[in-house]
Amino acid sequence: MARGPGDVPSSALASRNGVASGMRPRVRLRRQPSAKVAMVGAGQLARMTHQAAVDLGIDLVVLAESSDDSAVVAGVPFRLGSATSLADIRATAAGADVVTFEHPFVPSRHLREMEDLGYRLRPGPAALSLARDKLKARKVLSASGFPVPAFAPVSSPSDVLRFAQEHGWPIVVKNPRSAHDGRGVHVIDSEDRLAHLFVQPPWTGRVWLAEQFVEIAAELAILIARTAQGYVALYPAVQTIQRAGIRSHLLMPALLPGSIIKQAGQMAKSIADGTDATGILAVEMFLDTRGELLVNELTLGPHDAGHATIEACETSEFHQHLRAVLDWPLGATTLRSAAATANLIGGPDATGIAARLPLALGIPGVYVHLYSGAALHGRKLGHVTALRGSTEEALETAQAMAALLTKP
Ligand code: ADP
């Protein structure tokens, strides 16, 4: 007689499972297969990307420089290492479907070698190099006919003087490979200041980017997601307000004429296609006082200008970035509500933010995001987004909430 499972005596079943009779048999549950994404960088953008990864059942692992990094503190699986070490990047990327980046500061040669070894880098080395090197981005954009501020490479006071004589004082001199937040941006207003330049690090040993000083009427960022197959999704334009070179507030939608926003969106789309960007691309632009748009900077990967998308848009930039790098269908970018975001910058008593948090949480339409960074004076510790009926009202609320949370 043929034996079916029902014919097996229970004691035999127990021993077949390797457990003594009387104990419950051990059942091996297999996890659903999931997509695996490795991200270089473990700051707050990686932390927020992880929240989206959890929603989508994606296994995210990050390459962290320190166990104090914002994503690591949040419990994101990580590997400690350096973004400039090929071995560390490879170890993080082992088994991943794609490798993506929170910041672009990975040497090009490592990226090329990773591609040669068969890793899928999203974005790829060419696009990423434009985010890493502002001078290169300027050259590529202007050669392709996109409007950019007048610029020149400079490596000596006499180069800067020549540029200033041609374009007029003041001029802006930028470290083309600096991190964000305006740290490498210097406004030089006269010849007297030149003697101090190119004397000591970080001025020595590199070419800098000199730019005409733009009379800025408004600054905006266009976020666009692009898949490797070339599908794109454009977000509503974000207007950015800077304080001391740091983006302090975001307005979504931007309070700018529709014709400007349309033109900015078309430019961003052409740049995304022309540079073969994958994932989120942020195109930062100036609107000058003559009403002309100039492209300032390209950034690849989730971007702080897109923070309001978490609550204000149908698909957050973090979900969208993951969808794009995995070549999954992109989500709608429709605005659900006018929004504004204010950064939470640590004051003399930065630890007070957590204590005051409940005050802000009691207010409808207000969303606080804390990054768990070291509570340092002057450091970006989080952001607050307010959703309201108009951008102006949202800005007022976001500013009031930031003041409440960070007041000394
Ligand atoms: P970072 O990448 O460090 O943020 P940016 O190039 O975006 O540096 O510059 C930071 C801020 O400095 C800009 O948002 C803008 O307010 C100001 N800035 C930069 N370049 C110019 C320029 N050419 N003319 C006038 N202001 C500028």
Asked if the model's pLDDT at residue 156 lies above 60, the reply is yes
DSSP 40-109: E--SHHHHHHHHHHHHTT-EEEEEES-TTSHHHHTT--EEE--TT-HHHHHHHHTT-SEEEESS--S-HH
CB contact at 8 A, 98 and 75: no
Q: Give the mean pLDDT of 139-152.
A: 98
Please give the Cα distance from 106 to 27 (Å, whole number).
44
Q: Give the mean pLDDT of 269-277.
A: 97
217: Cβ below 6 Å to ligand 1?
A: no
% pLDDT > 70, the chain: 91
Helix (H) or strand (E) holding 128: helix 125-132
Q: Give the mean pLDDT of 19-43.
A: 79
CB contact at 8 A, 239 and 219: yes
Burial class (CB in 10 A: 0-12, 13-18, 19+), 51: middle
Q: Give the mean pLDDT of 106-127.
A: 97
Rounded distance from Cα 81 to ligand 1 centre (Å): 31
* pLDDT the model gives residue 179: 63
Asked if the model's pLDDT at residue 1 lies above 60, the reply is no
DSSP 273-308: HHHT--EEEEEEEEEETTS-EEEEEEEESS-GGGTT
Protein residue with its CA nearest to atom 8 in ligand 1 = 182
Please give the Cα distance from 268 to 241 (Å, whole number).
20
Q: Where is mean pLDDT largest: 148-157, 182-191, 197-206, 240-249?
A: 148-157
288: Cβ below 6 Å to ligand 1?
A: no
Domains, the chain: 35-121 (3.40.50.20), 150-212 (3.30.1490.20), 216-406 (3.30.470.20)
Rounded distance from Cα 282 to ligand 1 centre (Å): 15
Protein residue with its CA nearest to atom 17 in ligand 1 = 245
Q: How far apart are the first and last CA of the chain?
A: 84
Q: Give the mean pLDDT of 203-224.
A: 95
Distances (CA, A) of 43 to 39, 177, 245, 268: 11, 18, 20, 26
In 10 A of CB 246, how many CB atoms?
A: 15
Protein residue with its CA nearest to atom 15 in ligand 1 = 245
Rounded distance from Cα 172 to ligand 1 centre (Å): 8
Q: What pLDDT band is residue 373 in, cutting at 50, 70 and 90? A: low
Q: What is the pLDDT of residues 311-336, one digit of tens each?
A: 999 999 999 999 999 999 999 999 99
Rounded distance from Cα 19 to ligand 1 centre (Å): 67
Q: Give the mean pLDDT of 19-24.
A: 53
172: Cβ below 6 Å to ligand 1?
A: yes
Q: Give the mean pLDDT of 89-112.
A: 97
* pLDDT the model gives residue 200: 87
Rounded distance from Cα 52 to ligand 1 centre (Å): 30
Cite the beta strand spans of 301-402 per DSSP E.
338-345, 366-370, 380-388
